[in-house]
Amino acid sequence: MVDVLARNNVRITGKGEQIIMFAHGFGCDQNVWRYLLRDFEKGYTTIVFDFVGSGQSDLAAYDSQRYSSLDGYALDVIEILETLNLKNVVFIGHSVACMIGMKAAIVRPEYFGSLIFVAPSPCYIIDESYNGGMQRADLEALFEVMDSNYLGWSSSMAPLIMGNPERPELGEELTDNFCATDPDIAREFARVTFLSDNRADLKMLETPSLTLQCSSDMLAPIEVGHYIHENTANSTLAVLSATGHCPHMSHPEETIRAIRSYINDHGF
């Protein structure tokens, strides 16, 4: 029998009846939520974990077939909530974890009271009617660099993704996170992340959600936040002054204020 909590390095802290679950994005681990945890664990029970292949998860549990789509990662989220026998959870996801949480909530809506998307994107590729931020050819070129020199790719891309060049320590931390991830798993997760198109799933989501859109984000242009808001039921959009793709790391105070405002307004 699989030990789900050990597999995903699940850690539970805080105190409070309401559960908040935090899910990290590509190339990161649960440590990226530390600034938010310091605030929310004072009044909530908080759950953080590592997706298989990241952080201190069980690397032996990684299966290329299971994790060949975001559905495999969504199943991990569902299994954690099942194991802990939780319902009505506030799920806070960053980047690709937003779509993972959305997929989990579509399958098992009873587990989720609300979804909070931090810098989400249902599709990263530009087409004739949608600005996902990246051309398919440019994305394929990035994959080629990643395949040939993952550490070099990490060192060049992480600071760009983080943004906020006046604070280089932020880019350095994200680079360290990328470089600490198993390269083979990271390459597979990158393709799943950046080639997935979850736009059709938005209309299937019934759980109330908040989208936190950064004012400038190379991976999720401002149009993406509006697209999610316009195509998702029970959706709230908040545009942050924060820039870059990781406001929970670069601008935690503003991110906390926006989340608290939403969950207080919705009775969590």
> Measuring CA to CA, how many Å separate 189 from each of 27, 50, 132, 195, 221?
9, 13, 18, 10, 22
Of 219, 226, 268, the residue nearest 247 (C-alpha)? 219
CB-based burial of residue 7 (10 Å sphere; 0-12 exposed, 13-18 middle, 19+ buried)?
A: buried
Catalytic residue, candidates 245, 248, 250, 251? 245
User: What does residue 60 show for φ and ψ, rounded to 5 degrees?
Assistant: -65, -20
| Single-letter amino acid code for the residue at 220 | A
Strand-pair partners of 155: none
Cβ pair 22, 249 in contact under 8 A: no
CA 94/CA 186 separation, integer angstroms = 17
């608290």: which residue's tokens? 260
Q: Quick check: is 95 catalytic?
A: yes
CA 195/CA 204 separation, integer angstroms = 20
Catalytic residue, candidates 217, 248, 250, 251? 217
CA angle 31, 177, 44 (to 5 degrees): 15
Q: What is the CA radius of gyration of the chain?
A: 17
Number of domains in the chain: 1
Cβ pair 73, 198 in contact under 8 A: no
Q: Which residues contact 178 (CB under 8 A, 6 or more apart)?
A: 27, 154, 157, 158, 186
pLDDT truncated to tens, each residue of the chain (268 aa)?
789 999 999 999 998 999 999 999 999 999 999 999 999 999 999 999 999 999 999 999 999 999 999 999 999 999 999 999 999 999 999 999 999 999 999 999 999 999 999 999 999 999 989 999 899 999 999 899 999 998 888 899 888 899 999 999 989 989 888 878 888 999 999 999 999 999 999 999 999 999 999 999 999 999 999 999 999 999 999 999 999 999 999 999 999 999 999 999 987 8
Assigned token pair, 242: 């924060």
CA angle 230, 26, 2 (to 5 degrees): 110
Per-chain mean pLDDT for the chain: 94
Assigned token pair, 237: 């959009």
Domain hosting residue 30, numbered range: 4-265
Q: Quick check: is 217 catalytic?
A: yes
Task: Kindly report the CATH number assigned to the domain that includes residue 174.
Answer: 3.40.50.1820
Give 57's DSSP letter: S
Catalytic residue, candidates 54, 57, 95, 209? 95
